[in-house]
């Protein structure tokens, strides 16, 4: 949808630059000024009609043909064609088409910028030799501004257009160096020269070709945007918005316009009834999946995020084999199905241990790329970090590698940093069998806690046995109503009720003392006194913990599940205007009660005491083992000396 303050970059204006864009891709000379060549330049052609290998060339009058290019020339079309086995593949052709289209858009935007700023008249005056000294500084600044605008639009459009052709392959190309700002044409030539170098180095096959083009575009965008922060004469472009309707591309100043990647999600999905036990975790995952679908792609905001009841990060912990992976498969499957019904792009990514790299800084780059992909406001995103205790290291822990420390720093900044913006289009789940080994500050950035404790009751164990046995048997079920215990609302109500009193012994002692001293916790003052008593028992129970608890309470205030019909028929809710969706959700909310607050305090504090107790036990066990080793070493030393 185009807003009223978004201008149109007309299609005929863009297509008028197709010939110039094709010339840039076909061949030009460039001597690098800032970057050093990594590969040899192509050899010169012997004549305009004879290339380095046989191929058909068009002789139709009016079409652009390849000019003679001396040694040092840049020939991107030929660079890509050299990878082909006689004919360009669809992926290679798509890459070249994306580059031509992006160049044409950049040239059109540069020309429009020049017209709006008066640069066209200054160029004409300069050519005619009548540019006054008073105007020369302005002319130079506007040329540099036009170069920055053209470069960023080229990179932005390239990244947007190539995104649907990307797979899971990624390429680390490093920083872009040949960023020239003398004028727009030279700037684009410098960028294409460096892209040609990168394709020669990294784009040896189709997946890596697309990944190289995308990686280069992202790096160029970042470099130009950083340069534009202090550049004069760019404010008019930075504060404006342009729409390229044919590509559904919106250029909003120096902000990236991202398209969904075209990778297909391959995963064994699970249905909710295949998750036995874990009632609260399952219920919250179900609700969170539907909350994500309320995201408004035009407003780039979710009504639940605006109301304060959105789960941006959560921690799922439990013993091995209790169902953490099944929970991930269930939530990813729900989101995948909902997005298919609505026609929304869905992106699932998992950050695993194999992305911890021995090269300094690479692990942090991998983590940053993971976060950026999931945060992409053009998609519904679900990011998971399984076994986060192995991936993110504790600060100050000598057992943690430099790569693990880098990952911890990136996740802490991304999940609750100064620049964190929660739009409500994505969520991050951290899962661990040993959450006590996760850095305290990173763990507290998990706004919600999902205790994944697996089957608990006799009914749960009967249900999971019947489920996993399948149908290839004739064993009678017996006196049992299959899956009745998994009826979500009844099970969840019982689970929440169970947190009216704490479970962990340490927290239970605090509860008993506070209840004895001040009586029932029925006012904000008394509840605040209980929170202070918890903090005195565990100094790690800080203001961030209170924020997480209040966020969980707000989620409970919206203790309703969006109807399945709204997911199956998007017109009923998903496709409505943002304000209408917000009003529909407000009508379904309920008042916060004392019981909700107490239950969420106990639920959160129980998890912190559980983590602390386990962490202390692990530390004590390690110290005992170390003392034993020292005693044994001393005994052997004395025996050897005697």
Q: Tell me the sheet residues that pair with 50.
A: 47
Polymer length of the chain: 642
**pLDDT band at 122, cuts 50/70/90?**
very high
Decide if 281 contacts 450 (C-beta within 8 A): yes
2 found inside a domain = no
If you average pLDDT over residues 65-80, what whole number do you get?
A: 66
Range of 13's domain?
7-252
pTM above threshold 0.75: no
Are residues 388 and 240 located together in one domain of the fold? Answer: no
261 found inside a domain = no
Are residues 337 and 460 located together in one domain of the fold? Answer: yes
125 found inside a domain = yes
Are residues 280 and 309 located together in one domain of the fold? Answer: yes
406 found inside a domain = yes
If you average pLDDT over residues 168-191, what whole number do you get?
A: 89
Are residues 349 and 490 located together in one domain of the fold? Answer: yes
Question: Cβ–Cβ contacts within 10 Å for residue 208, how many?
Answer: 18
CA-to-CA separations, 496 to 12, 429, 492, 551, in angstroms, rounded: 61, 21, 6, 16
Question: Cβ–Cβ contacts within 10 Å for residue 453, how many?
Answer: 17
Residue 61 predicted with pLDDT over 50: no
**Which pairs with CB-CB distance under 8 Å and at least 24 residues apart come from 527-533?**
527/594, 527/597, 527/598, 527/601, 530/601, 531/601
Task: Quote the mean pLDDT of the chain.
Answer: 83
1 found inside a domain = no
190 found inside a domain = yes
Are residues 213 and 311 located together in one domain of the fold? Answer: no
Are residues 105 and 150 located together in one domain of the fold? Answer: yes
The tally of domains found in the chain comes to 2
Are residues 281 and 419 located together in one domain of the fold? Answer: yes
pLDDT of residue 260: 54
Q: Which of 334-348, 394-408, 482-496, 514-528 has the lowest mean pLDDT?
A: 482-496
533 found inside a domain = yes
Are residues 280 and 212 located together in one domain of the fold? Answer: no
CATH of residue 563's domain is: 3.40.50.300
Are residues 144 and 85 located together in one domain of the fold? Answer: yes
- From first CA to last CA, the distance across the chain in angstroms is 87
Are residues 173 and 85 located together in one domain of the fold? Answer: yes
Residue 319 predicted with pLDDT over 80: no
If you average pLDDT over residues 565-584, what whole number do you get?
A: 90
If you average pLDDT over residues 242-260, what whole number do you get?
A: 84
What would the pLDDT profile of 409-434 be if each residue is shown by its tens digit?
A: 999 999 987 778 899 999 999 988 88
d(CA 345, CA 202): 28
Are residues 396 and 441 located together in one domain of the fold? Answer: yes
241 found inside a domain = yes
User: Which has the closest alpha carbon to 80: 140, 25, 141?
Assistant: 25
Q: Pick from 203, 220, 252: which residue ends a domain?
A: 252
Q: Which of 143-147, 210-214, 493-497 has the lowest mean pLDDT?
A: 493-497
Residue 266 predicted with pLDDT over 60: no
Q: Which of 83-87, 234-238, 417-421 has the lowest mean pLDDT?
A: 83-87
Are residues 223 and 351 located together in one domain of the fold? Answer: no
């Amino acid at each position: 949808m185009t807003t009223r303050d978004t201008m149109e970059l007309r299609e005929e204006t863009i297509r008028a630059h197709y010939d110039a864009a094709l010339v840039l891709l076909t061949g030009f000379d460039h001597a690098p000024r800032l970057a050093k060549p990594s590969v040899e330049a192509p050899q010169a052609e012997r004549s305009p009609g004879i290339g380095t290998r046989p191929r058909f060339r068009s002789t139709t009058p009016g079409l652009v043909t390849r000019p003679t290019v001396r040694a040092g020339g840049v020939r991107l079309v030929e660079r890509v064609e050299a990878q082909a086995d006689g004919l360009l593949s669809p992926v290679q052709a798509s890459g070249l088409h994306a580059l031509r289209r992006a160049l044409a858009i950049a040239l059109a935007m540069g020309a429009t910028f020049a017209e709006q700023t008066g640069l066209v008249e200054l160029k004409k005056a300069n050519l005619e030799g009548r540019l006054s000294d008073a105007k020369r500084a302005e002319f130079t600044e506007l040329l540099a501004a036009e170069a920055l605008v053209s470069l960023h639009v080229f990179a932005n459009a390239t990244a947007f257009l190539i995104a649907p052709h990307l797979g899971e392959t990624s390429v680390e190309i490093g920083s872009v160096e040949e960023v020239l700002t003398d004028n727009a044409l030279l700037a684009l030539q410098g960028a294409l020269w460096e892209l040609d170098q990168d394709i020669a180095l990294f784009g040896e096959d189709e997946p890596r070709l697309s990944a190289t083009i995308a990686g280069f575009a992202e790096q160029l965008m970042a470099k130009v945007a950083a340069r534009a922060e202090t550049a004069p004469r760019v404010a008019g472009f930075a504060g404006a918005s342009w729409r390229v309707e044919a590509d559904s591309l919106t250029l909003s100043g120096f902000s990236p316009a991202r398209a969904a990647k075209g990778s297909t999600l391959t995963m064994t999905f699970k249905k909710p009834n295949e998750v036995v036990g874990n009632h609260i975790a399952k219920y919250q995952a179900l609700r969170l999946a539907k909350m994500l679908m309320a995201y408004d792609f035009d407003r780039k905001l979710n009504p639940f995020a605006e109301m304060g009841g959105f789960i941006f990060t959560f921690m799922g912990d439990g013993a091995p084999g209790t169902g953490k992976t099944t929970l991930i498969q269930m939530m990813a499957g729900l989101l995948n199905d909902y997005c298919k019904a609505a026609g929304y792009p869905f992106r699932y990514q998992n950050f695993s241990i194999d992305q911890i790299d021995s090269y300094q800084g690479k692990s942090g780059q991998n983590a940053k790329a993971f976060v950026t992909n999931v945060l992409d406001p053009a998609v519904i995103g679900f990011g998971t970090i399984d076994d986060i205790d192995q991936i993110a290291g504790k600060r100050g822990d000598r057992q943690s590698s430099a790569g693990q420390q880098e990952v911890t720093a990136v996740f802490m900044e991304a999940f609750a940093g100064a620049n964190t913006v929660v739009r409500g289009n994505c969520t991050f789940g951290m899962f661990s069998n040993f959450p006590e080994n996760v850095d305290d500050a990173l763990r507290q950035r998990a706004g919600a806690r999902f205790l994944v404790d697996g089957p608990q009751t006799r009914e749960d164990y009967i249900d999971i046995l019947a489920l996993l046995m399948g149908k290839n048997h004739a064993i009678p079920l017996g006196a049992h109503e299959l899956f009745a215990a998994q009826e979500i609302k009844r099970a969840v109500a019982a689970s929440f009720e169970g947190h009216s009193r704490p479970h962990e012994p340490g927290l239970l002692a605090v509860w008993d003392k506070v209840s004895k001293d001040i009586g029932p916790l029925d006012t904000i003052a008394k509840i605040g006194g209980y929170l202070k008593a918890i903090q005195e028992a565990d100094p790690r129970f800080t203001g961030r913990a209170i924020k997480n608890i209040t966020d969980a309470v707000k989620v409970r205030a919206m203790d309703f599940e969006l109807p399945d019909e709204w997911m199956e028929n998007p017109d009923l809710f998903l496709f409505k205007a943002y304000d209408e969706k917000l009003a529909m959700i407000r009508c379904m909310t309920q008042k916060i009660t004392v019981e909700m607050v107490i239950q969420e305090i106990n639920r959160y504090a129980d998890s912190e005491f559980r983590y602390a107790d386990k962490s202390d036990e692990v530390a004590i066990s390690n110290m005992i083992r170390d003392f034993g080793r020292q005693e044994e070493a001393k005994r052997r030393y004395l025996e050897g000396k005697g």
